[in-house]
Amino acid sequence: MRESRELRDLHIRLCEAYARGDTGFIERLFSREAGSLNIGTDPHEWWMGSDRILQAWKAQFQALGGRVPLVAGDPQAWQEGSVGWVADQPRLQTPDGDLPMRLTCVFHQEEGEWRLVQTHASLGVANEASVGSELPV
């Protein structure tokens, strides 16, 4: 596997599209292949298939005033053949301040273009809160 500047730059453009509310860019980026999956930070945000993913995102963009103010961190991007992935710690800008997130994206090349096949966003929770005690890190 090798580092991928192309996927790193694509991820940054994706974050910028969220911040602008550019649902067209996001819609073009998601794969139409079976198995596409988007997992959000809310327990109910588990969407399978590009139609459902895009329907949910468009509704959320509308509920958030037309954009999702996401700022890329320092994405790490890798690829092996026609599959690549990005891991990042972006910030979601909220009225109460920046909310640190964790985000992974899996891409697949389809007809020469990178398409998103899976995303997973999460909010870090301290081990003390999730398992009741501090763990080595």
> What is the distance between the terminal CA atoms of the chain, rounded to a whole angstrom?
26
Structure tokens given for 108? 């697949």
The answer on pLDDT for 129 being more than 90 is no
Domain residue spans of the chain: 2-125
Residue 92 tokens read as 């979601």
Structure confidence by residue, pLDDT tens digits, 67-114? 889 999 999 999 999 999 999 999 999 889 999 999 999 999 999 999
Question: Is residue 137 pLDDT above 90, yes or no?
Answer: no
Q: Encode pLDDT of 13-51 as tens digits.
A: 999 999 999 989 999 999 999 999 999 999 999 999 999
CATH number of the domain at 2-125, out of 3.10.450.50, 3.20.20.370, 3.40.50.880, 3.40.630.30? 3.10.450.50
Q: Cα(123)–Cα(58) distance, rounded to whole angstroms?
A: 22
Q: What is the pTM of this model?
A: 0.91
